Amino acid sequence: MNVIEAGFPISSKGEFDGVRQIARAGLTAQVCGLSRIVKKDAEACLDADVGMVHVFVPTSDIQIAHTIKKSHDEIVEGAMETVQFVKDHGRICLFSAMDATRTSPEFLHRIFKAVEEVHCDIINIPDTVGVAIPSSFYRFVKDICDDVDMVVDVHCHNDFGLAVANSLAAFEAGAREIQVCVNGLGERAGNANLAETVMSLHSIYRARTDIKTEYLVETARLIERLTKVKISITAPIVGDNAFSHESGIHSHGIIENSKTFEPGIMTPEMVGHKRRIVLGKHTGRHAVAKVLEEAGYRPTEDQLQEILERVKELGDKGKQIGNIDLQTIADVVIGEVAKGSQAVVLKEVSVMTGNIITPTATVRAMVRGKEMVLANTGVGPVDAAVNAVQGLLKGETSIHLCDFRIEAITGGADALAEVVIGVEDERGRKVSARSAREDIVMASVEALVSAINRLMLLEEPIVE
């Protein structure tokens, strides 16, 4: 970062102290303070020990009429005197014609040439209310660049979402400084976004700045934490989804070659980000297999298909599946008895509950090839469903529950719930199984059926 505009020292004691503290922090960046065309403002900047003073004044007719209320001659004279004062004290001076894009070209050129006469170092062209468009802003900035010998700087607002585009058009036109804000913060809709501007310059234009781009994401998240202003997940470069891929064809391509569905000229490593495969209803088989492989899982083809189907089922309900969710689903599926060996195959579960009725569950299942249906009650919907499953097995095997645990894997009302159930038969043999669903009742029934299948598998005769 070349210049940090630390604040407006004259505005309050707290602001003054903050600017001075930053100016004395020993930073390699130049620290700048704001000043109107008022001598006491400039003196406050000097007293705050800044190395650069940013002198600004409204120049559009509407802002002059409703704010500063001075004539053009008075504005030019005040600008020259303040710039001269700053230069006489050996500081770098940046001058801004506020609301430049709504200022008459004649007056704008006049005031820029006037401050150039008193050795102003940098002039700033602000699009204060964000009304410029890139094509016209290019011509606007180029005319000024051709007319002065000072460094030209731009300051673009984002009212129409064009702050970064206008800043880049200004660069094309000859501007050599761009004012930006971390996460695009600023008045109203904000200013040109630091990360978007810098990475466009580096990756698209092959220009160079002194920004250490590998810290862009870390810096963005720090500012998010300090300001409490959230970064959109789809924010370019620093958002959580900036290098995330869900669609099957996208994920497949990224796994093969990251340049297939990313710019290529900008990588997550360049900005301190990470590439992620996001799992949801659009997820493809390759993506699930890749994520599982990276986590150390080696499912069979049938198990992989079952895991994929469960991921898509959750995705259809609007849930995005994280790595922890996926690993839990994999644990459940890989730990299940193979379908051909299942003595009990669950077909349907329905539950009725409320504050004035007894919780009742109906379960339909194939038990050793025979379809059976049973309803039962309980103290709650989970208890009723478990009782119904146990009721189906009377005459087949005698079991009782010896363990029952429910845990939410992730946060939120739609969190995936993991249920662990242990069962024991009359011979004292114990087995446990687990299931994970966003529905606790279904997770409980599936875990119980899985445990029963494991126990009944132990009863199968061994074939010599």
Provide the percentage of residues in the chain whose pLDDT is more than 90: 59
Q: Residue 259 has what DSSP assignment? A: G
pLDDT of 306 strictly over 90: no
Comparing 133 with 288, the larger pLDDT belongs to 133
pLDDT of 192 strictly over 90: yes
Handedness of CA 193, 194, 200, 203 (dihedral sign): negative
Per-residue pLDDT, 403: 85
The alpha carbons of the chain give a radius of gyration, in whole angstroms, of 33
Per-residue pLDDT, 9: 97
Per-residue pLDDT, 47: 98
Comparing 341 with 194, the larger pLDDT belongs to 194
Same fold, 3-179 and 338-458: no
Per-residue pLDDT, 414: 66
- In this prediction, residue 411 has a pLDDT band, given cuts at 50, 70 and 90, of low
CATH architecture of 3-179: Alpha-Beta Barrel (3.20)
pLDDT of 87 strictly over 70: yes
Domain regions of the chain by residue span: 3-179, 244-334, 338-458
pLDDT of 312 strictly over 90: no
CA-CA distance, 202 to 321, in Å (whole number)? 34
Average pLDDT in the 289-304 region?
84
Contacts of 461 (CB under 8 A, 6+ apart): none
- In this prediction, residue 191 has a pLDDT band, given cuts at 50, 70 and 90, of very high
Lowest-pLDDT range of 73-77, 114-118, 245-249: 245-249
Residue pair 136/107 in contact (Cβ under 8 Å)? The answer is no
Per-residue pLDDT, 396: 67
**Token couple for 90:** 């050996």
- In this prediction, residue 95 has a pLDDT band, given cuts at 50, 70 and 90, of very high
For 125-179, the pLDDT digits (tens) are 999 999 999 999 999 999 999 999 999 999 999 999 999 999 999 999 999 999 9
Q: DSSP for 212-247, please give it.
A: -GGGHHHHHHHHHHHH--PPPTT-TTTSTTTTEE-S
For 345-376, the pLDDT digits (tens) are 889 999 999 888 999 999 999 888 889 999 99
Per-residue pLDDT, 464: 40
What fold, for 338-458?
Answer: Double Stranded RNA Binding Domain (3.30.160)
What's the whole-number average pLDDT of the chain? Answer: 90
pLDDT of 292 strictly over 50: yes
Contacts of 444 (CB under 8 A, 6+ apart): 382, 385, 386, 404, 406, 419, 421, 435
CA-CA distance, 203 to 196, in Å (whole number)? 10
Q: What is the dihedral of CA 98, 102, 103, 106, to 10 degrees?
A: 140
For 206-232, the pLDDT digits (tens) are 999 999 999 999 999 999 999 999 999
* Residue 58 parent element (H or E): strand 52-58
CA-CA distance, 34 to 12, in Å (whole number)? 12
Per-residue pLDDT, 426: 79
CA-CA distance, 184 to 54, in Å (whole number)? 20
Per-residue pLDDT, 295: 73
Contacts of 427 (CB under 8 A, 6+ apart): none
Residue 212, Cβ neighbours under 10 Å: how many? 11
Give me the residue label for tokens 């008459």. Answer: 104
Give me the residue label for tokens 């030019």. Answer: 76
CA-CA distance, 398 to 425, in Å (whole number)? 6
pLDDT of 460 strictly over 60: no
Provide the percentage of residues in the chain whose pLDDT is more than 70: 93
Lowest-pLDDT range of 43-52, 404-413, 425-434, 454-463: 454-463
Q: DSSP for 299-332, please give it.
A: --HHHHHHHHHHHHHHHHTTPPB-HHHHHHHHHH
pLDDT of 280 strictly over 90: no
pLDDT of 233 strictly over 80: yes
- In this prediction, residue 412 has a pLDDT band, given cuts at 50, 70 and 90, of low
pLDDT of 339 strictly over 70: no
Lowest-pLDDT range of 42-51, 127-136, 315-324: 315-324
